[in-house]
Amino acid sequence: MSAEAKVALIHDWLTGMRGGERCLEALCDLFPRADIFTLLHVKGSASKTIEGRRIRTSAIQTLPFATSHYRYYLPLFPWAIEQLTLDGYDLILSSSHCVAKGVKPPPHALHIAYVYTPMRYIWDMQDAYVGPGRMGPASKLMLRAIAGRLRRWDIAVNTRVDHFIAISQHVADRIRRHYGREAEVIYPPVETTRFHVGDRMDDYYLVAGAMAPYKRIDLAIEAFNHLRRHLVIVGEGQESRRLRHMAGPTIEFLGWRSDREVADLLSRCRALVFPGEEDFGILPVEAMACGRPVIAYGKGGVTETVIPLEPSAFSLQPSALNRESQPPTGIFFYEQTVEALIQAIDRFERSADRFDPEALREYALTFDRSIFEKRIATYIAERFEEWKRGGRRRSC
């Protein structure tokens, strides 16, 4: 790909460093002169690599309380993303779990969308967001009122995307189902070098991440309340207050912690508990990079990364990796219920010696960031050369 090509990176919003922002950071390193466009930027919330770029925001940035309550402006997101001006850019790379892929590229530019998921709250997981105790009446009413319009927009803007990349086969299947489009699968980058196998194991299980409804941290809390075992929870989010209210004396909340602290907590836990349905799930790979097994709900992207001790027809999902000779790295449960999770924890405790820390780490290295960078750089360069040879133009 020509070094003179002008590149724009489109990201939904910059309010913290989660999985999507880790991917954006890797794209910044691949395209060191690219500019970033986003709906909203909370200054200082992203890594130095991202914060050091020229970041252009949308009209959402100027609205009252946007930095803390931006989700309430969801009805305006399609309009706001379409107002971003990308004239003069040759390559548009959208990094999207909401509306970023709906940006309007210039007629001469190639648009490749790296998709973490189609919008969860209007497609497959709407019920997880509007369930009991998760949204106020006004928010539920708003989401239900606009969901149909957002779905129609989400389908219509796919003509603006030339090529889709999905973070997992699970997401590629959803892109095919909702949009009628095919997607290349390139697993997201995992910074395996940040993690290590610990020299000791402490007597706690770990849950970590943003406290969003679909993460189902409530299942873990109820299970560990019942078992009276020590569960450490790292993270904050929209469900924080509800989850803290549910927790018994054996549940410990640590709030957000630094990358170094999370790596240390992962290296010393008995196992990572992962009760939600994820599109990929970087955290389970990070746990395995620490030599620690994963107890996970056996649906979604985790079935492409975790090798269950007890394989079943439900867990045999397509994967970009040859896993036939790999040792087990976790335990799956197949119903999102407290009872099923308790049974999985019991199975783990009866077979904990089946998980070899060094083998888990060796397997996790197959998801390293260097592999992501090589695969996505090759894919983008090939599509860009095809685009130049074809001389295509688009009308948006």
Q: What mean pLDDT comes out for the span 287-297?
A: 98
Q: Are strands 231-234 and 251-255 parallel, antiparallel or unpaired?
A: parallel
Radius of gyration for the chain, computed over Cα atoms and rounded to the nearest angstrom: 21
- Check residue 147 and give its pLDDT: 85
12/98 Cα distance (integer angstroms)? 6
DSSP state of 394: -
User: What are the distances in angstroms from CA 243 to CA 213, 250, 259?
Assistant: 10, 13, 23
- Check residue 137 and give its pLDDT: 61
Structural domains of the chain sorted by starting position, each given as residue range(s) with its CATH number in brackets: 7-189+370-388 (3.40.50.2000), 192-366 (3.40.50.2000)
As beta bridge partners, residue 96 has 115
| pLDDT of 313 above 50 | no
> Over the chain, what is the mean pLDDT?
90
Share of the chain above pLDDT 90, in %: 79
Share of the chain above pLDDT 70, in %: 89
pLDDT digits (tens, 9 = 90+) for 348-366: 999 999 999 999 999 999 9
CB burial readout 83-116, b (16+ within 10 A) else e: ebebeebbbbbbbbbbbbbbbbbbeebbbbbbbb
84/198 Cα distance (integer angstroms)? 46
Say which residue, 337 or 132, is predicted with more confidence.
337
DSSP state of 164: E
- Check residue 314 and give its pLDDT: 47
Amino acid at the residue 185: V
| pLDDT of 320 above 50 | no
189/20 Cα distance (integer angstroms)? 10
Residue 72: pLDDT band by 50, 70, 90 thresholds? confident
- By three-state DSSP, how is residue 114 classified? strand
DSSP state of 41: B
pLDDT digits (tens, 9 = 90+) for 151-188: 999 999 999 999 999 999 999 999 999 999 999 999 99
User: What are the distances in angstroms from CA 314 to CA 293, 303, 310?
Assistant: 19, 9, 11
Contact by Cβ (8 Å): 306, 296:
yes
